[in-house]
């Protein structure tokens, strides 16, 4: 009988708090539809990981380590970086770069809107985080879950849980985070600004679409070899999509691969969310810094667009700059909706999508550069 009560008697209030946090994540996923594919497995995993002597995590029994399923997944899928890389293949297969080819100058917003990453990294160092932890926290601002997980796995595996939760939560909150920042930094006239078509209906050749992922991988690899895994897997997925002869594989990557790996990724990350690791002051800092990263990404994009307008003949609506973050397609929808609110006949969607796609390249590249520059 005593053996049956061991779980109950070993329960601590910290474990109980973690279960409530898991419950909140499940609530946000189910009721609010906030990134449900990730937040639901993370929420449930948090509950699993905080049951005393849970068999999903490694436990020591009679001097021997009994391996738990989530611990095995963690070693095999996260520590080897395989899960995030497989997600990149899936994301690559989902991205259509053709809007970007029709308006390539919007590529620059994919760089400008990564400003929040670096700003947050600097801020994190002032809060006492070491350079690797600060860089991992900054990468929450890539607005790209797999990149955040990839960098955190390398640099700060101890912070993987809070970083992942912050990254995915704020991605879901883009429609709430971005509008006030954009409104603060733009005038009504700027938000009403129209943009020309930019050749939105121009067709792009198959050769261009096939060559682009290959050349981007080679060029990135030559200058920043540490970024090759990130950008290479993303571009491999895109090549599967664009080559035109692997439609079944492309669909499998977009659907089955994405779904399965996302599920495993979410529940495995939750294995790091044990009470002793998660209930720390640093978690609160990370949640706060993640929000700052998203805010300054948005500000960086908008301010860069305003700066660019001093030099451009055909002006860019500054709101488009905010779509340079990677949260796709959420950010472009936000910008489009804001544009329509100011002027119901001003359609900014295609321009915002172009900037948003460039943000996906920019975020992965930023992650790779952080890996190359931080020692």
Give the interface with other proteins as residue ranges (CB under 8 A).
Answer: 100-101, 104-105, 107-108, 110-112, 114-115, 117-119, 121-122, 124-126, 128, 130-131, 134-135, 202-205, 207-208, 211-212, 215-216, 219-220, 223-224, 358, 361-362, 365-366, 369-370, 373-374
The residue (of 117 and 264) whose beta carbon lies closer to other proteins is 117
Min dist CB 369 to other proteins, Å, is 5
Q: Which is nearer to other proteins, 38 or 303 (CB)?
A: 303
How buried is 176 (Cβ within 10 angstroms: 0-12 exposed, 13-18 middle, 19+ buried)?
Answer: exposed
Q: How far is the CB of 94 from other proteins (least distance, A)?
A: 19
Output 103 or 283, the one with its CB closest to other proteins.
Answer: 103
| Least distance to other proteins, CB of residue 306, Å | 16
Closest by Cα among 146, 122, 144 to 135: 122
Smallest separation (angstroms) from other proteins to the CB of 166:
19
Half-sphere exposure of residue 143: CA atoms within 13 angstroms, side-chain side: 39
Shorter beta-carbon distance to other proteins: residue 1 or 126:
126
> Cβ of residue 284: shortest distance to other proteins, in angstroms?
19
Residue among 205 and 345 whose Cβ is closer to other proteins = 205
Q: Which is nearer to other proteins, 86 or 369 (CB)?
A: 369
Report d(CA 159, CA 186) in Å as an integer: 36
- Of 69 and 374, the one with the shorter C-beta distance to other proteins is 374
Backbone dihedral region for residue 249 (phi beyond 0: left; psi -120 to 50: alpha; all else: beta): alpha
> Least distance in Å: CB of 211 to other proteins?
5
**Taking the complex as a whole, how short is the minimal distance between the CB of residue 114 and other proteins, in angstroms?**
6
The Cα 25–Cα 43 span in angstroms is 5
Please report how close the Cβ of residue 126 comes to other proteins at its closest, in angstroms. 6
Residue with Cβ nearer other proteins (221 or 329) = 221
């Amino acid at each position: 009988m005593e053996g049956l009560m061991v779980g109950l008697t070993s329960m601590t209030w910290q474990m109980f708090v973690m279960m409530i946090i898991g419950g909140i994540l499940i609530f946000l996923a189910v009721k609010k539809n906030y990134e449900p594919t990730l937040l639901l497995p993370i929420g449930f995993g948090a509950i699993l990981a905080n049951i005393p002597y849970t068999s999903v995590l490694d436990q020591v029994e009679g001097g021997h380590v009994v391996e738990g399923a989530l611990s095995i997944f963690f070693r095999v899928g996260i520590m080897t970086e395989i899960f995030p890389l497989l997600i990149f293949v899936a994301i690559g297969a989902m991205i259509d770069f053709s809007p970007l080819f029709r308006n390539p100058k919007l590529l620059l917003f994919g760089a400008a809107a990564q400003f929040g990453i670096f700003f947050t990294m600097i801020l994190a160092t002032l809060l006492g985080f070491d350079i690797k932890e600060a860089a991992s926290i900054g990468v929450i601002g890539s607005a790209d879950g797999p990149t955040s997980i990839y960098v955190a796995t390398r640099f700060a595996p101890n912070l993987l849980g809070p970083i992942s939760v912050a990254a995915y939560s704020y991605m879901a909150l883009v429609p709430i985070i971005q509008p006030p920042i954009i409104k603060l930094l733009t005038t009504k006239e700027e938000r009403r600004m129209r943009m020309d078509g930019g050749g939105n209906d121009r067709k792009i050749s198959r050769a261009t679409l096939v060559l682009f992922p290959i050349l981007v991988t080679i060029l990135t690899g030559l200058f920043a070899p540490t970024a090759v895994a990130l950008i290479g897997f993303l571009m491999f997925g895109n090549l599967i999509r664009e080559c035109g002869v692997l439609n079944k594989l492309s669909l499998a990557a977009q659907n089955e691969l994405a779904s399965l790996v996302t599920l495993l990724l979410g529940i495995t990350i939750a294995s790091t969310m044990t009470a002793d690791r998660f209930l720390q002051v640093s978690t609160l800092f990370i949640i706060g810094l993640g929000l700052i990263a998203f805010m300054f990404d948005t500000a960086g994009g908008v301010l860069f667009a305003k700066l660019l307008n001093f030099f451009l003949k055909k002006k860019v609506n500054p709101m488009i700059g905010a779509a340079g973050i990677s949260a796709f397609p959420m950010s472009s929808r936000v910008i489009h909706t804001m544009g329509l609110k100011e002027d119901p006949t001003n359609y900014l969607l295609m321009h915002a999508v172009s900037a948003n796609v460039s943000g996906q390249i920019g975020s992965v590249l930023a992650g790779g550069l952080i890996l190359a520059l931080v020692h």
